[in-house]
Chains A and B, each alone.
Chain A
Amino acid sequence: MTAVMAMESVPVDTWHERVHQVKQRGFGFFDFLTAVDRNSFVEVVVHLVREDLSDSYLISTMLSNENLHIDSIETLFPGAGWHEREVGEMFGVKFEGNDMQKLLRHETLGLPPLRKNIVLSARVVTEWPGAAEPEIKQDGRKVGNPSRRRQRPPGAPESWLQQ
């Protein structure tokens, strides 16, 4: 779509101000706002595009896991409100100034599902049939000399299985 994309990471307390400045520099089209779980912190990114689509600007900021608060940019781009509510539901980020009403998920559901520390308990509780080998039966019985390398179920990191 756009030829050039500028990227910048800003401290969280200048987030609103910086987005405002970039908008005033001509990046007046709000493309998307989303978040990435980097394990030790959550990165919030917003992508702004110049109205003639010639270039775009990606602004990101890092939120510590202990303080997932950030200023809403809904006053700058009303359309960002939905994106912020979605990030709130999926990553547990609170956007100050946004009413943060539930957008997609039922209110009874607990932890934000796109955080990497969320364990898919079904993948831990269910016995993975792939652990069996000619020397290892499905019930875990070992016969003969099974290979020492243990197979791990896909989509279930080691840390989940230890819990």
Chain B
Amino acid sequence: MTRYQLAEHPTIEVEVITAGLACCTLEVEAAATAGLLLPVSGEQISPAPSILVISGTVTDALLPAVLAQIDRFPEARLMSFGACATSGGPYWDSPPVTKGIDQFADVAVYVAGCPPRPDAFVAALLDLAHSGVAP
């Protein structure tokens, strides 16, 4: 678990679970390296996150685990980050890959990219913040 806050909007905090779905998850670290996210201390997982970021390839085998997390936080809005989470992306023809998390849960914002750039991650969070989702 690593915790960050947005440099541009410090009330938005990002928690990264160190079991990423795929390479898109690394964009959070890239954003931190670029100074877009600032590390903050704190080990606790937020009891009620307002946004869940699905970043990376979801396989049919892993789908129940991902959906269980989504169900745990019914208030949270979903961000589909990158081509894999949105549509299967480069794995659009692969049988074990889920072709879009939006088949199973409502997605609030889609971020295009393979992977999307770190500034796209920050911009998407700010978009949701301005629409009143995040604090």
Binding site for B on A (CB under 8 A): 105-106, 108-109, 113, 120-123, 126, 155
Contacts and interface: CB of A to CB of B under 8 A. Distances in A.
Interface string B46-78: 000000000000011100000000000000000
Interface string B90-106: 00111110010000000
A109 B93 contact: no
| Chain A contact residues, majority secondary structure | loop
Nearest to B88: A122
18 contacts: A105-B96, A106-B59, A106-B60, A106-B61, A106-B96, A108-B60, A109-B61, A109-B95, A109-B96, A120-B95, A121-B95, A122-B93, A122-B94, A122-B95, A122-B99, A126-B92, A126-B93, A155-B93
Contacts of A121: 95
B95 A113 contact: yes
Nearest to A123: B93
A120 B92 CA distance: 10
Interface residues of B, number: 9
B93 A108 contact: no
A53 to B, nearest CB: 36
Contacts of B95: 109, 113, 120-122
Given A120-B94, A123-B93, 18 more contacts: A105-B96, A106-B60, A106-B61, A106-B96, A108-B60, A108-B61, A109-B61, A109-B95, A109-B96, A113-B95, A120-B93, A120-B95, A121-B95, A122-B93, A122-B95, A126-B92, A126-B93, A155-B93
Contacts of A113: 95
